[in-house]
Structure 1
Amino acid sequence: MDSLTTNKINAISHNKTWLFVPATRIDRIEKAFASGADAVIVDLEDAVAKQDKAEARDALKNYYDEQNAKQTYQPIWLRINQASSEEFFKDIVLCQQMPNLAGVLLAKAERAEDIESVYQLTGLPVIALIESAVGLYQIDSMAKTVGLVAFSYGFLDLCNDLHVQVGTPSAEIVANQIRYQLVLTSKVHQLSPPIDTIYPDFKDGVGLSNRVNLWSQMGMAGMLCIHPKQVASVQQALQPTTKALEFAKRVIEEYERSGQAVFEIDGEMVDAPVIERCRQLLSQWQMK
């Protein structure tokens, strides 16, 4: 793994909210950043009809040039079309003309060589979107590719390919299996923890919060968002409780004071795994 990849993995691991903007609506980019999203993804794939893709690329390049001229450019991520499509190399050329992109999301990733091709041609870090059975089957080989920083996945596409009925208890079992595979593979290959898929109903705040609790407890890093209002909801759901932060602070204070490997706080036995969990919590929320 080269230094660029390693540095980018470290950087994106702190990104919790990834907000999509259609490439046909360049005017929404500034609004997306204003929403507080950690990362903004301009989508050249599913959000853009085939007949509109060329115009969308031109509009994005014009936006990039104008922002650079004003020295106000904020790096965006770009979701490009799958490697087997006729749009792929057109998207690659656009990336080469926009060297200050934050990185690339490769749609429907299935092969390690496609990820490596994107990286070699653009010099940009790559997030692989797993959207097919073949892609899911090949995640281990893709995880070894130089340039890859993280995985995410498109659950609706995967359900269609696997013939899973969306919105059923069975679909939830499959979704959690996918999450587990991506978390495990990412950890083994020292990638950033994976990014969870979109939550389609942007008006369902309770359901979104429950989803955030699920993926964050499973060790995933962040979530793809399709509406600005989801950004604040995700960030709020990720906030640890005051009780959890206070407990973690007391654990670390007692450990540093006593030097004991095992001790008790509030009736709970504390040992090395608990201490490490408390360190991670306080480090993440900068409470110590």
Structure 2
Amino acid sequence: MQSNSTEKTIATHNDFANINSWLFVPATRMDRVAKAFASGADAVIVDLEDAVAQADKAQARIAIQDYYHSQDYQPIWLRVNRASSVEFMEDIALCQQLPNLAGVILAKAEQAAAIEYVNQATNLPVIALIETALGLSQVDNMAGASGLLAFSYGFLDLCNDLNVQVGTPAADHIANQIRYQLLVSSKVQGLLAPIDTVYPDFKDNKGLYDRVILWSQMGLSGMLCIHPKQVAVIQQSLQPSAAELDFAKRVVVEYERSHEAVFEVDGNMVDAPVIERCRQLLAKWPNI
């Protein structure tokens, strides 16, 4: 049986910087957790909220405990019910019994105090899901909450709350505004860059590819997934081209050789921001 010591090291945001794919598994289907990890997902989220009917939540918690104490256990994230729900305290009590969880996803986050309570009660990092207009209006306040690792958002829930029609150009504008708001607040408070919302059509690889390119170019750190097939698409979409890596290597080599503040590579003017971007790219993909 696996030992789950209560001793924990303090995680930093850098420890999560290379997590690009966050794959959901319903807490009623713990048999799927191994498959989720086998898909190559960087993180697996076991969902105790929307994916579990009210009548099944107590049994789902027992299933999570059974998995945690099994030899197959790998650190999972738990999405707990919103702080105002009757299930919230039961979820937190469960987390307290499972100290080697990876972290907690707080559904429908709306208050900094709730984030801090989760962190203090569990000693685990917290990701706040923004799923209501009230939550969106409180992002700046929540961004300063102790224990907060990152924001993500539930776009379908937000659209319902804001009366936005999903699948329209208007919805795309709203989504980009949400990404921008979360991105700026996260940067100011030194959080991990936001995690993008799910792409519901898991059979639409081209649409998913386009979405990944969008959020990665906007500076977000990863994406929530609802199906294992989406993981490989995300990984392939984020991988830089050979030309991009070659350019970055030559920029860094030339800078380290000359120590010039401004120079030229392939007809491109290179200065401090370009050098830093190239270093970041090479640090993220050191083995390519």
Query: What interval of TM-score do these two structures reach, taking the shorter chain for normalisation?
Result: over 0.9
Q: Structure 2, unaligned stretches of length 5 or more?
A: 1-7
Aligned to 1:10: 14
**SS across alignment from 2:30:** coil
SS of the counterpart of 1:149?
Answer: strand
Contact 1:261 1:271 survives alignment (8 Å): yes
Distance 1:82 1:5, change over 3 A: farther
| 2:67–2:73 Cα contact (<8 Å) kept | no
Deviation at 1:178, TM superposition (A): 0.4
Distance 1:244 1:59 in 2: 46
- Superposition misfits of 4+ residues, deviation over 3 angstroms: none
- In 2: Cα distance, 1:162 partner to 1:9 partner: 31
- Residue 166 of structure 2 is matched in structure 1 by 166
| Equivalence for 1:157 | 157
Q: In the alignment, which residue of structure 2 is the partner of 1:98?
A: 98
Give the 3-state SS of the residue equivalent to 1:224 in structure 2.
Answer: strand
Partner letter of residue 97 of structure 1?
A: Q
For the Cα contact (< 8 Å) 1:103–1:125, is it kept in 2? yes
Query: Do structure 1's residue 48 and structure 2's residue 52 form an aligned pair?
Result: yes
The one-letter code of the counterpart of 1:59 is: A
RMSD between aligned residues: 1.3
Give the distance between the partners of 1:273 and 1:46, measured in 2 at CA.
43
Q: For residue 232 of structure 1, what is the aligned residue in structure 2?
A: 232
Q: Answer yes or no: is 1:107 the counterpart of 2:103.
A: no
Aligned length: 281
Q: Which runs of no fewer than 5 residues in structure 1 stay unpaired? A: none
2:64 corresponds in structure 1 to 60
Question: Quick one: percent identity of the two aligned structures?
Answer: 68
Q: For the Cα contact (< 8 Å) 1:33–1:40, is it kept in 2?
A: yes
1:205 alignment partner in structure 2: 205
Q: State whether residues 5 and 148 of structure 1, in contact with CA within 8 Å, keep that contact through their aligned partners in structure 2.
A: no
Q: Do residues 244 (structure 1) and 248 (structure 2) align?
A: no
TM-score, structure 1 length as denominator? 0.95
Normalising by structure 2, we get a TM-score of 0.95
- Partners of 1:96 and 1:60 lie apart in 2 by 13
- Measure, in 2, the Cα distance between the counterparts of 1:6 and 1:198: 29
Residue matched to 2:216: 216
**Given residue 17 of structure 2, which amino acid in structure 1 is its aligned partner?**
S
Distance in 2 of aligned mates of 1:184 and 1:130: 15
Partner of 1:35: 39
> SS at the partner of 1:7?
coil
Structure 1 residues 150, 278: CA separation in 2 closer, same or farther (over 3 Å shift)? same
